[in-house]
Structure 1
Amino acid sequence: MSISSKVIFSDEGKKRFQYGSDLSIYTERFIDGKLLSSGFQDNGVTIYEHSEFVDKPAFDLVIDGESLYYGWEFISFDSTEDESGNAIGSLTLKHSLKSIQLKIITSCCGFGFFRRAMEITNLSDVETVGLTSVVPLKGYIWEMTHNITENLKDATVYPYSVGRFRDVHWSNEGNFDWQDIALNTGTFFNSTQGQSGHGSPFFVLRNNIYGGYMVCQMGWSANWKASFLADYNNDRHSHETKINLNFEIMPVTVSPARLIAPGETIQASEVHFGMSHVDFDTAIQNLHAYLRRSVLKQVGDGLQPVIYNQAGYMVPSLLEPGMSEDGLKREIDIAAEIGAELFMVDAGWYGKNGQTGTDWGNTTGDWYAAEGLPNDLFPVFEYAKEKGLKYGLWVEAESAGSKSKIAAEHPDWFIEKHGKTIDRILDLSKPEVQNFVESEIIRLVEKYDLDMFRLDYNSCSPEGGFNLKGGRNENTHWRQVEAIYGIFDRVGKRFPNLQLENCASGGGRTDIGIVSRFTTTWVSDWFKMPRTVRILNGMSMALPPEYVNRSYGVGMQSSYNGNADTQMHVIMMAHPTLFGVTPSLAEANPAIMKCTKKYIKIYKEFIRTFHRTAKVYHHTPVIPGADGSGWAALEYVSDDQKKAVATVFRLVNAEENVYTLKFRGLKKGMKYQARIEPEGSEFILSGYALSKDGIEIKLDTALTSQMIMLTEYMNEPTQ
């Protein structure tokens, strides 16, 4: 039996629920008070009931230290459809011993993907309960039973591998790699710094014997953990050797993670997961298509603006003692000249100490123009409008520095741990703090009529803080995440045309929970070659590339390595931001200005026309080395296959001077007009030749690149 896209079959008599998303079929059974993950198929064929797994819970929930994966009573199952046409199944369970109700909501979203949400309700009229932990999704996939010894090839081949971001520290985001999952040995990876990490709760499971991929992301902006076990055993009933893959993903918080008041409902972190029997590129493309259609936010026409960030040469040690109206206007002149579309005022515009520009971290929280801006920012933003630019403002809304008015007047507004206040981090679990943060965001957006609001978060609290409630120390992480999500849900609704940019010390929060509430995101503070290429390469797996900010310019000393064309190539393949192209127009290097203008024009007139729907091909998914070695190649193809752009980068320690790029996403029977930058050559080739023979890219020095742009060639004029 095969089922079509985005459908739900429920058999309430057998308590069997099937969710279909294209060729991906996810099945759950409710048996003996447990909801079981019974099967996950990737080819559209429903397995027989007697072949389903009947011993693997689909979730775990621990309340006040007691596991509640069992002991449930079935209440109801309802099917609906959302405004996007996604089929939604809502299963309601009530626990037989605890006063807890659970609503498990599964959306079938197409492209082989599902969205899992979980609502936890305290049914008691009098008793507060404590959430110890929750695993919103766990399961069992890829049962292998036949000729395993022979099919493993040899002892060095493992049946399953997991792809994930190997590094979890600042400036090392996007370092994608595969890790074999050893037999009968647990494998896990996680974040520990109180954010979703400088990695991300994102993984790809791969079946190394029979093929196929499972892709999973969790929307959670604090600590998390993903775990895997290849269960290699002898089935006592069938006498067959089996290897099955167990997986789970969960938020990790000191207990109690969340106190749930009588009658209160909270929501667990959402999980987005899909399965497909395709190649790796298509698996990632399916993720991007699902995220773009059902998860990620866009405003207006959806075209990402070219951003010019003021924090380039405008730092005290290089140019002047701090922000000034004249200095910002000088930056606006540069932005307008090169063809940028939005001007961003970065950190240091606020607070009494803003005159020096060196104490921006200690004056956050006082969101009023600094002494160096006696006329406020109004003349600056008005000047930007006169130059045809939109404008945005950097705010680290969740923090208040030690020299701020907030710190002096409200020392109780910060998170506390073991009797000590943690610097800078406001405790959004307190209603008065959350209200202040939200009201300040709204005030600033309305005061300046902002086109973009940039949220930064430069602090981390690995364990979080604690608040004493009813004699129990509740951890702050859960409520902190709830608060920031709620704030930006409301801000986004109030200002539907406002661009929202997410940042957290670069890529400290790139999980889909926070990113889904913003229109673009910084994925790292590291822009130096060659690692910036690897960051783009990896992060454009977890997120579509138009949401991935990459920057070029002197800011953060990022552009001292590699040639100008190559650095521009990186940001053209992402969402481009520039900062510090030149100290002033009077001092501008004509060659740099010409190069910059050329590529901004290419982005706006060519790449951006199909960027939002482009299929991404990662020719080099794993880039080894400390900063990125060998070659890297990315290819983006329009949905109709009439346009494409690919860039080949020579990084460091490449063994050969030549890389042959064989396009993967072209229409074989179509002819393409090709143009290569920076060499400027043009020619016509068939999609077949570009795919079969490819283009030979010769680069004889490190940190150089070539960008290939393809457009359908029409040899006869259209009538």
Structure 2
Amino acid sequence: MTVQSSIIPDLNNMRFQYQSELSIYTEKLAEGRLLFAGFQDNGTSIYEHTDLKDKPSFDLTIDGQSMNYGWEFSDFVTRRDELGNTTGTLTLKHERSPVQLKVITICSGFGFFKRTMEITNLSDEATIGLTNMVPFKGCIWNITDNIADNLRDDTVAPYSVGRFKDLYWGNEGNFAWQDIPVNTGIFFQSTFGMSGHSSPFFVLRNNINGGYFVCQMGWSANWKSAVFADYFNDSRLPNKINLNFEIQPMTPSPARLIAPGETIVAPDMHIGMSHVDLDTAIQNLHAYLRQSVLRQVGDGLQPVIYNQAGYMVPGYKQPEMSEEGLKHEVDIAAELGAELFMIDAGWYGKNGEAGTDWGNTTGDWFAADILPNDLFPVYEHARSKGLKCGLWVEIETAGSKSNLAEAHPDWFLTKYGSTFPRVLDLSKPEVKQFVESEIIRLVEKYQLDMFRLDYNSSSNEGGFNLKEGRNENTHWRHMEAIYEIFERVGKRFPNLQLENCASGGGRTDLGIVSRFTTTWVSDWFKMPRTVRILNGMSMALPPEYINRSYSPGMDGNLDTQMHVIMMGHPMLCGVTPSLASANPAIMACAKKYIGIYKDFIRTFHRAAKVYHHTPVIPGADGSGWAALEYVSEDRKKAVATVFRLVNADEDRYTMKFKGLDKGANYRVRIEPEGSEFVVGGYVLSREGLTIELDTALTSQMILLTETD
């Protein structure tokens, strides 16, 4: 489709209006400041006299000096690409410091914009230091009408923020709304050196006048978001209540030293506003990400992955891996109907030593002694069965027992006078070059179809390197290195699938996700929390990019475990210890749902509209009921799954479909019972289907196809 976007620059008044369908963002350069002048969600431009005049659109501090003012106009250019995306580049120069700023705003349709900033050191001699950077901030809503009456004596919060409220491993995707009290700020952040296990993603909601604002930052290290509802209550002046927001990377200063003539790029911002319901706001986000942000390989159909780690490698103890065992795993994958065979941790390094675990030998990316013929026979066997081949690598680390750690002790992150274990310092050019060359070598050596990147270390505030008398933090350069490496790898191998994983969901931000084709959003697969993870993460990311796994030892109904993973990007592991000892019922169940995914769900998954019937799932692990609905663009196909979690008050849930064509008829198939019948779209939408489940951790999957 062609994007509806435009940019209206008023160079006489230094005022710039960016339009993405019905969303209009206005910015103004006034008195040396670039101001956030207003955001509309109904397609109607504001007049200049109604512009906000005191809200800067960014913060920048160089060498401890505020750069929020003192900017002079240099240039403004626009361009339009083949999709209709319109880009405006505003170039500013600072009047007192040798700094140039390029503010790049892309109008990308669906009410969304991408915002990037380039900071250039114009000095011929002096290095400057980035102290702090807030790439985007402003006032989203400014209400002045009938405030006291609409607030109903302070019983109604004017605004709310929706976000992932948990920060820790295994608790990703716990979406919840939080009211924003007036004149009280709220902030939330990450602190482990990664963007997760939360994510720099939030949704703002106007509880008085309606509307949603969605924001994501592409940054894979520590970050912070803040919101503040400013209530000005004075009988002498008109009352007003503003909602201010900001989001930024959090890095000790100096975050980045910028050499003479050098340009660095701030984290990408992805923002959208719409006066619609929450489902439509999230669908607009997904459509924007699919079209303009996320990487796609070939036809974009996600392969069903079989991961070798399961019964074969309990606890990932490396000596238990063998060529014969891997070939048996290949046979299981092929029998199930999987399409890609992934070799997980434990294939490399000094693992002939009993008890040596996978984490202590990372860095030596050569097949271990327990695989004397290397991985070639395994991959050859997999390809003979029609399977593609993938490989797990934790390329940013080196374990304590690795040859790499012994040979290059200076390659590690250092802080407070000591070495931080396992984490390689990619801010060092020689380390960055080694990492990239190793990725290329492994992809070419094994002719990989998928490269899985993992990262299982928390560097917290990062390390420090002494440069020109200053201790530069490592996070910024490390992120630059990872992004640049995988951009080049993606271009060099255009058909290579790239899977992003970081101790589960440690990096689910768009900075790294945009450079990969699928993302491991959590290491937690047990019911009921795995449902909540899928439910929440499918708000921030389209579901086909969300890797969900079946693993041994899971709680709940077997069909329910399959329902969860088939609603994401499915991966299976440990389905059976061997084909000879396979449980026929488990094999039949897995085969059935793999067939449903490949033959039905995947045919429209990549463009599906997602409806979250239960956007907030309460409880420690998820309680009550959960329901997700995916509908094809033409509304001819749909899949929905209704889950009974724990502590449900009733045995019945009525599923009223949101995305169907009310004038059409649909053939309905319900799994696992297998019943089929025809119902009108109007009845399915208004009266719904009553799902009755009298025990916890069970579910029903509903497949719908339009019929005459």
- Report the TM-score when normalising by structure 2: 0.99
Query: Of residues 658, 672, 679 in structure 1, which corresponds to 2:673?
Result: 679
Residue equivalent to 2:660: 666
| Cα pair distance change 1:233/1:547, threshold 3 Å | same
| 1:624 counterpart SS class | coil
Query: Of residues 628, 635, 654 in structure 1, which corresponds to 2:629?
Result: 635
Query: Of residues 539, 542, 554 in structure 1, which corresponds to 2:540?
Result: 542
| Cα pair distance change 1:679/1:404, threshold 3 Å | same
Matches within 5 A, 1:504-543: 504-543=502-541
Matches within 5 A, 1:238-637: 239-316=237-314, 321-353=319-351, 356=354, 358-554=356-552, 557=553, 559=554, 561-637=555-631
Matched to 1:507, the amino acid is G
Indicate if the aligned counterparts of 1:235 and 1:242 stay in contact, CA closer than 8 A.
no
The 2-side partners of 1:505 and 1:319 are apart by 17
How much does 1:213 deviate?
0.1
Indicate if the aligned counterparts of 1:84 and 1:294 stay in contact, CA closer than 8 A.
no
| 1:612 counterpart SS class | helix
| 1:225 counterpart SS class | strand
The yes-or-no answer on 1:61 pairing with 2:60 is yes
How much does 1:319 deviate?
10
How much does 1:156 deviate?
2.4
How much does 1:358 deviate?
4.4
Matched to 1:187, the amino acid is I
**CA displacement 1:475-512 (0-9 Å, x = unmatched):** 00000000000000000000000000000000000000
The 2-side partners of 1:145 and 1:160 are apart by 14
How much does 1:314 deviate?
1.0
How much does 1:285 deviate?
0.2
Q: Identify which range, 181-190 or 309-318, moves more after superposition.
A: 309-318
How much does 1:418 deviate?
1.0
Matches within 5 A, 1:683-694: 683-694=677-688
The 2-side partners of 1:339 and 1:586 are apart by 17
**CA displacement 1:297-346 (0-9 Å, x = unmatched):** 01011000000000010125799941100000000010000100000000
Indicate if the aligned counterparts of 1:348 and 1:357 stay in contact, CA closer than 8 A.
no
Indicate if the aligned counterparts of 1:313 and 1:319 stay in contact, CA closer than 8 A.
no
Indicate if the aligned counterparts of 1:316 and 1:356 stay in contact, CA closer than 8 A.
no
Matched to 1:481, the amino acid is M
The 2-side partners of 1:220 and 1:488 are apart by 15
How much does 1:49 deviate?
1.1
Indicate if the aligned counterparts of 1:675 and 1:708 stay in contact, CA closer than 8 A.
yes
The yes-or-no answer on 1:40 pairing with 2:34 is no
Matches within 5 A, 1:145-294: 145-234=144-233, 239-294=237-292
Aligned residues: 706
The 2-side partners of 1:669 and 1:297 are apart by 36
Residue equivalent to 2:20: 21
The 2-side partners of 1:248 and 1:677 are apart by 45
| 2:347 counterpart SS class | coil
Residue equivalent to 1:102: 101
Matched to 2:577, the amino acid is P
**CA displacement 1:638-660 (0-9 Å, x = unmatched):** 00000000000000000000000
Matches within 5 A, 1:700-715: 700-714=694-708
How much does 1:85 deviate?
2.2
Indicate if the aligned counterparts of 2:318 and 2:351 stay in contact, CA closer than 8 A.
no
Residue equivalent to 1:139: 138
How much does 1:5 deviate?
2.5
The 2-side partners of 1:219 and 1:511 are apart by 6
How much does 1:146 deviate?
1.0
The 2-side partners of 1:295 and 1:103 are apart by 20
The 2-side partners of 1:24 and 1:317 are apart by 50
| 1:353 counterpart SS class | coil
**CA displacement 1:212-255 (0-9 Å, x = unmatched):** 0000000000000111110100479x821100100111000000
The 1-side partners of 2:602 and 2:675 are apart by 22
The 1-side partners of 2:353 and 2:289 are apart by 43
The 2-side partners of 1:167 and 1:356 are apart by 37
How much does 1:417 deviate?
0.1
How much does 1:205 deviate?
0.2
Indicate if the aligned counterparts of 1:62 and 1:68 stay in contact, CA closer than 8 A.
yes
Indicate if the aligned counterparts of 1:323 and 1:357 stay in contact, CA closer than 8 A.
no
The 1-side partners of 2:249 and 2:452 are apart by 26
| Cα pair distance change 1:455/1:616, threshold 3 Å | same
Residue equivalent to 1:644: 638
- Report the TM-score when normalising by structure 1: 0.97
Q: Identify which range, 107-116 or 148-157, moves more after superposition.
A: 148-157
The answer for unaligned runs of 5 or more in structure 2 is none
Residue equivalent to 1:717: none
Indicate if the aligned counterparts of 1:351 and 1:364 stay in contact, CA closer than 8 A.
yes
**CA displacement 1:182-210 (0-9 Å, x = unmatched):** 11111110000000010000000000011
The 1-side partners of 2:130 and 2:454 are apart by 29
| Cα pair distance change 1:122/1:354, threshold 3 Å | farther
How much does 1:665 deviate?
0.3
Matched to 1:617, the amino acid is Y
| 2:666 counterpart SS class | strand
Indicate if the aligned counterparts of 2:536 and 2:615 stay in contact, CA closer than 8 A.
yes
The 2-side partners of 1:675 and 1:249 are apart by 45
Matched to 1:709, the amino acid is L
| 1:119 counterpart SS class | strand
The 1-side partners of 2:374 and 2:625 are apart by 48
| 1:400 counterpart SS class | coil
How much does 1:527 deviate?
0.3
| 2:395 counterpart SS class | coil
How much does 1:155 deviate?
2.1
| 2:595 counterpart SS class | helix
How much does 1:153 deviate?
2.9
The answer for unaligned runs of 5 or more in structure 1 is 715-719
Matched to 2:208, the amino acid is I
Residue equivalent to 2:74: 75
Residue equivalent to 1:114: 113
| 1:462 counterpart SS class | coil
Structure 1 residue runs of 4 or more that deviate by more than 3 Å after TM superposition: 316-321, 354-358
Indicate if the aligned counterparts of 1:323 and 1:355 stay in contact, CA closer than 8 A.
no
Matched to 1:694, the amino acid is G
The 2-side partners of 1:275 and 1:531 are apart by 30
Matched to 1:324, the amino acid is S
| 1:399 counterpart SS class | coil
Residue equivalent to 2:84: 85
Q: Percent of counterpart pairs with the same letter? A: 74
**CA displacement 1:530-560 (0-9 Å, x = unmatched):** 0000000000000000000000021xx4x1x
The 2-side partners of 1:80 and 1:234 are apart by 44
